[in-house]
Structure 1
Amino acid sequence: MNQDPTGEYIRTITSHCDLRGAEVLEVGCGAGRITRDLARHAARVVAVDPDERALAQARAAVTAANVSFLPMPDGVLSFPPASFDIVIYTLSFHHVPLHQMDESLATAAGLVRPGGAVVVVEPGEGGSFTEAKERFGAGSGDERPAQEAAIRAMHALPGWTVGDTVHFRVGFLFTDEDDFISSKLPGFAEQPAAYQQEVRAFLASHRTPEGIVLDAGRRLNVLRRR
């Protein structure tokens, strides 16, 4: 799978938040797909994630000297106050347990230096990849309730203003149907035949000469102190 082959994430982030010379904390870096692009613009990136296996993949994929990957046990951001210019959640805030969202965001805000920002990139609406998640449970499945809770938490952060929501789309390129199934539907072989046929028919409708091309809506919000 090739996620975001056209670089829409970093294009949107840099259009609404200046990373030049910035020290950035990336929360929920996963395998480092967006970390790599952040490092090309920022002075320093500290990328954290609770998943040790994802961090191992990220360290192998991103070897830039200005990037540090650190484990984040239990989702706790343990850095001194005002350590960063920008804290960015990259598709991770809705994964924070609902009862910890307010605390997580308040802690992140406390890590930001004066004049800095908290950037939240989250799944949006629409797109064929989003449809596959909702219809077939692909990837992390239907995350709409968690996404709605994340939006409420952003607007409830005391002393901070949430900027206009920026909507954009990102692409996903899969070599073929089996590439999608192996990476996004690990239990596919145990599913009923009707389900398997429906999935393959859906993927066939998105086949191109380059492979299976899907897309998904995304949203970006920049939070700044009032």
Structure 2
Amino acid sequence: MIPDPTDQYITTILSQCDIRGTELLEIGCGKGRITRDLARHAGRVVAADPDGTSLKQARAVVVADNVQFMHAPAGVPDLPPGSFDLAIYTLSLHHVPVEEMPGSLRKVASLLRKGGVIVVVEPGDGGSLTEAKEHFGAGSGNERPAREAAIRAMHALEGWTVGETVQFRTLFLFADDDDFFASMLPGCRQQPESFQVEVRAFLDQHRTGNGIFLDADRRLNVLRPCGNGECA
């Protein structure tokens, strides 16, 4: 699987934030796909994730000198207050347990310098990959309830205002059916044959001469500390 082959994540982030030369904290870096692009613009990136296996893969992929990967079992690393100019949740806030989302956001806010911002990139509602997740349980499955909880948590963060939602769409390229099964449905072979036939029929709708292209909606919000009566 090749995620975001047209670089829509970094394009959208840069359209909303000037990260040049910043000290940046990435929450939920996963395998480092977005980390790599952030490092090309930021002065320093601390990329954290609770999954040690994903971090190992990220370290192998991203070798930039200005990136430090950190294992953060609780999601947010324990670092001194005021360490960063900007923090980005890269498709990770909705993976935080719902009851822990407010605390995660507050902790991240405490790590920012005066005037720092929080960028939250989350899944949107549409797209063929989203359909595959919700209909077949592909990848992380139906994320709709968790996405809605993440949005509520953002708007409930005291002392912060949520900017307008920026919508964008990204692509996922799969070489063939086997690539999709291995990446998104590793247990598919244990499912009834009828299920596999249904999945293949779905993939046929998105098959091209260059592979299988699925897409997914994404949303980006910039959270800023209140000032000039913004949160009054």
| Fold agreement, TM-score > 0.5 | yes
Q: Which residue number corresponds to residue 26 of structure 1?
A: 26
Percent of aligned pairs sharing the same letter: 66
Distance 1:193 1:180 in 2: 16
Checking the alignment, whether the CA contact within 8 Å between 1:77 and 1:107 is kept in structure 2 is: no
- CA deviation map 1:3-53 (0-9, x unaligned): 000000000001001101100000000000000000000000000001111
Please tell me whether residue 221 in structure 1 is matched to residue 229 in structure 2.
no
Please tell me whether residue 68 in structure 1 is matched to residue 78 in structure 2.
no
Please tell me whether residue 88 in structure 1 is matched to residue 81 in structure 2.
no
Q: Which residue number corresponds to residue 45 of structure 1?
A: 45
Please tell me whether residue 185 in structure 1 is matched to residue 185 in structure 2.
yes
Structure 1 gaps of 5+ residues are none
Distance 2:190 2:179 in 1: 17
Q: Which residue number corresponds to residue 108 of structure 1?
A: 108
Q: Which residue number corresponds to residue 229 of structure 2?
A: none
Distance 1:19 1:167 in 2: 20
Q: How does 1:113-132 map to 2 (within 5 A)?
A: 113-132=113-132
- CA deviation map 1:185-204 (0-9, x unaligned): 01101111111100000001
Q: Which residue number corresponds to residue 176 of structure 2?
A: 176
Distance 2:127 2:24 in 1: 30
Structure 2 gaps of 5+ residues are 227-232
Distance 1:35 1:111 in 2: 19
**SS of residue paired to 2:220:** strand
- TM-score by structure 2 length? 0.96
Q: Which residue number corresponds to residue 230 of structure 2?
A: none
Q: Which residue number corresponds to residue 202 of structure 2?
A: 202
Checking the alignment, whether the CA contact within 8 Å between 2:4 and 2:170 is kept in structure 1 is: yes
Count of paired positions: 226
Q: Which residue number corresponds to residue 163 of structure 2?
A: 163
Checking the alignment, whether the CA contact within 8 Å between 1:165 and 1:220 is kept in structure 2 is: yes
**SS of residue paired to 1:198:** helix
- How far does residue 183 in structure 1 lie from its aligned partner after superposition? 0.9
Checking the alignment, whether the CA contact within 8 Å between 2:170 and 2:216 is kept in structure 1 is: yes
Distance 1:116 1:73 in 2: 24
After TM superposition, where is structure 1 displaced by more than 2 Å over at least 4 residues in a row?
74-77
Distance 1:76 1:63 in 2: 22
Please tell me whether residue 79 in structure 1 is matched to residue 54 in structure 2.
no
Checking the alignment, whether the CA contact within 8 Å between 1:25 and 1:86 is kept in structure 2 is: yes
Please tell me whether residue 35 in structure 1 is matched to residue 41 in structure 2.
no
- How far does residue 77 in structure 1 lie from its aligned partner after superposition? 2.8
- How far does residue 76 in structure 1 lie from its aligned partner after superposition? 4.0
Alignment-mate amino acid for residue 36 of structure 2: R
- CA deviation map 1:90-124 (0-9, x unaligned): 00000001110000001111111112100000000
RMSD between superposed Cα atoms in Å: 0.7
Distance 1:32 1:75 in 2: 15
Checking the alignment, whether the CA contact within 8 Å between 1:177 and 1:204 is kept in structure 2 is: no
Q: How does 1:143-158 map to 2 (within 5 A)?
A: 143-158=143-158
